[in-house]
Amino acid sequence: MTEHDVDRRGTDAPRPAIVLVSGGLDSATCLAIASAEGYRCHALSFQYGQRHHVEVNAARKVAAQLDAVEHRVMQIDLGAFGGSALTDASIAVPEAGASGPAIPVTYVPARNTIFLALALAWAEVLHAHDIFIGVNAVDYSGYPDCRPEFIEAFTRLANLATREGVEGQEPLRVRAPLIALKKAEIIRRGTALGVDYGTTVSCYQADDRGRACGRCDSCRLRAAGFVAAGVPDPTIYR
């Protein structure tokens, strides 16, 4: 029996975990990893004012296929602030690929901080000590809230700012199992765990049918990952 097989009351049961599921490739792989480790996965997604709804629809499919015990979709309007090409229609999504150290306009201000804070609230209610997030700091667009330093800092905050962190029997953990992996490694890992990447949507500007543009940075990273992994790309392009 591993530590994951015993819950906080000492009974034999899978431990609960919150898994952030966007509907994209990385979060689907992250959910598969959490499930394979024996966690009882509670999937959490957000309709946050992004350009399209197909990502959340994909998240529903992913959560069902990978046996999440529960899947919640929260509505928050980050588009009210704007400041990102993903939430503000007046800002064009770049199609030239990422270049240089500058943070691209597809970065959504404080998005992962907000998502993790809400995941933390649910974790406290469920007495879950593990939150999984599929951030990556290797083949990524340079977002500051995908870096190991951010995950480490949020983990410290979680244990300082919550009753579960202060009074609980064990610390809260923010798990980022993909953070140091190349996209090809992520795809190989997910394929081995049975992830159907054909149900995932990564494109920043997918159409209403979920077809990818093939030009945005997310599409470029995804396509290159499948080539490097030697795995057929199931992405449907328009």
- CB-based contacts of 175: which residues, under 8 Å, 6+ apart? 17, 34, 130, 131, 132, 133
Looking at residue 101, its pLDDT comes to 73
pLDDT tens for residues 95-148?
976 656 789 999 999 999 999 999 999 999 999 999 999 999 998 889 999 999
Q: Is residue 13 assigned to a domain?
A: yes
pLDDT of residue 1: 35
For residue 183, the domain's CATH number is 3.40.50.620
| Rounded-to-integer distance, Cα 204 and Cα 213, Å | 8
Structural domain boundaries enclosing 25: 3-229
pLDDT, average across residues 176-202: 98
152 in a structural domain: yes
Residue 237 lies in a domain: no
Number of domains in the chain: 1
Residues 6+ apart with CB under 8 A from 228: 182, 183, 184
Query: In the predicted model, is pLDDT for residue 202 greater than 90?
Result: yes
In this structure, is residue 235 part of a structural domain? no
Q: What share of the chain is helix, strand, coil (3-state, %, to 5)?
A: 40, 10, 50
Question: Above 50 in pLDDT, residue 7?
Answer: no
CA gap 231, 105 in Å, rounded: 30
Contacting residues for 105 by C-beta, under 8 A, at least 6 apart: 84, 85, 91, 93, 94
Q: Could you tell me if 195 and 61 are in contact, meaning their C-beta atoms sit under 8 angstroms apart?
A: no
pLDDT confidence of residue 6: 42
